[in-house]
Amino acid sequence: MGAMKTRSASVGRWVNEVVSFVVFCLLDIVDYLLCLLYKTADYLLEAEWKPCYCLSPKKLITTSRGNILLSHNNCESKILTVSPLQQLSGRSKIELEEISETLYSRPSLLSDLSKLSINDLTKWLVNMTRSHSDCGEIKISKKRRRTMKSSFTVVEMLQGKIKPQNLSRQVSRWSDCDCGFCTCWTSTCVKDQSLFVKTQFPKGNSGNEDVLFIHGFISSSAFWTETVFPRLSKSKYRLFAVDLLGFGKSPKPADSLYTMREHVEMIEKSVLLKHNVKSFHIVAHSLGCILALGLVAKHGASIKSLTLLAPPYHPVPATEAEPRQYVMKKVAPRRVWPPIAFGASMACWYEHISRTICLVICKNHRLWQFLAKLITRNNRTVNFLIEGFMCHTHNAAWHTLHNIICGVGSKLDLYLDIVRDKLKCNVAIFHGRDDEVVPVECSYNVQSRIPRARVKVVENKDHITLVVGRQKEFAKELEEIWKSSSC
């Protein structure tokens, strides 16, 4: 009996491998065909050739606005601008380390063959559109013989970042939703260029402790405000739930790379500085756990407690030469089964297929929300989950997925070591036993790095129902954590 089960499992894995190989080979080709389609559509609808990450990594080029110098010192890659400081809005350098190479380097069997024709055509298109403009000279640091390269698309976006930031510029692309909800930030947030923050204060604003809630990937502050906040309405805490940059009602700048620095700085600006928050508790879910650790690294002395829900921590072996690629393959293993792995692989490996998914789902989210209301009889829980899942841009989701989950996710050891060695705050971890998005092992991996962390695995709960559906119980657990941390 046991031998038959083992044989059946082996056959199942083999079938999954073969089917996955065929399906993803076909998707490789489809993605490159969509690349051509979107380049044409972008030019016709926006009168401009838009760069994409199908291009091979190239040396940095510059425009007439200023030069970009790529340097390599002490094994740290940096992009340095030599433009006048006033053009940088106070920022004189952008670290190349913040940009994950998984954006433009996702190996596959057919990619090299497919790239030849696409790259040749793209080079021609780029040369044609640049033929009427003078380009500055390329400046490459020669302190080391090693040649530094970066994606052409990254360079294009960096050129926009060395200009004074203006969130009102280029509100959305033709493939993004332009409804009032998705673009409300242009009128409500553009003056101070801050995130959308939902707050809940005790009566009389007498709260003496602050709590910051950070949602997960393709979600919004409603994940907290529609579940936990009502259960904490009589508490003594000041509660802050943010919509992350690029999601919900927060700004969705088209020229942002959505790096760790940008996400953390926007949270600091929109919550800590704006509301004069000096010390605080953090509650974070999934992707939010990575950003929470980034905040902890900068504000360790101000952290009272750290509560992580389903932290996506995949330890990278010391012998692994490409840690970001390793994490990407853990998150998106290029398999058709289970379905969650197939969905993650579609979103992570294919820039243009994922853009098509956003075009169908996010741009038409009002239709899907209307249908969901009819089917569920206006179920409030379903409504806010769909709203959070669909209200973002492809640019925000794509860059956050690669630069945060794959990029920063590959070096979480550094952040966890800071929590272990330099902080004394309580660390609590919650995980659903049935979570198929982030395996339960990830939480135990965090505990192995931070021995004092307490892990609670909730039976019969998954990535979402860890909170949704048990908000009353979870709110009590949070209050106990905050109370014990204040003693």
Is 141 one of the annotated active-site residues of the chain?
no
Choose the catalytic residue: 215, 285, 392, 431: 215
Choose the catalytic residue: 435, 443, 462, 485: 435
Choose the catalytic residue: 150, 175, 270, 286: 286
Is 402 one of the annotated active-site residues of the chain?
no
Choose the catalytic residue: 281, 365, 399, 463: 463
Report the 3 state secondary structure along the chain. Answer: CHHHHHHHHHHHHHHHHHHHHHHHHHHHHHHHHHHHHHHHHHHHHHCCCCCCCCCCEECCCCECCECEEEEEECCEEEEEECCCHHHHCCCCEECHHHCCHHHCCCCCCCHHHHHHHHHHHHHHHHHHHCCCCCCCCCEECCCCCCCCCEEHHHHHHHHHHCCCCCCCCCCCCCCCCCCCCCCCHHHHCCCCCCCCEEEECCHHHCCCEEEEEECCCCCCCHHHHCCCHHHHCCCCEEEEEECCCCECCCCCCCCCCCCHHHHHHHHHHHHHHCCCCCCEEEEEECHHHHHHHHHHHHCHHHEEEEEEECCCCCCCCCCCCCHHHHHHHHHCCCCCCCHHHHHHHHHHHCHHHHHHHHHHHCCCHHHHHHHHHHHHCCCHHHHHHHHHHHCECHHHHHHHHHHHHHHHHHHHHHHHHHHHHHCCCEEEEEEECCCCCCCCHHHHHHHHHCCCCEEEEECCCCCCCCCCCCHHHHHHHHHHHHHHHCC
Is 275 one of the annotated active-site residues of the chain?
no
Is 114 one of the annotated active-site residues of the chain?
no
Catalytic residues, by residue number, are: 215, 286, 435, 463
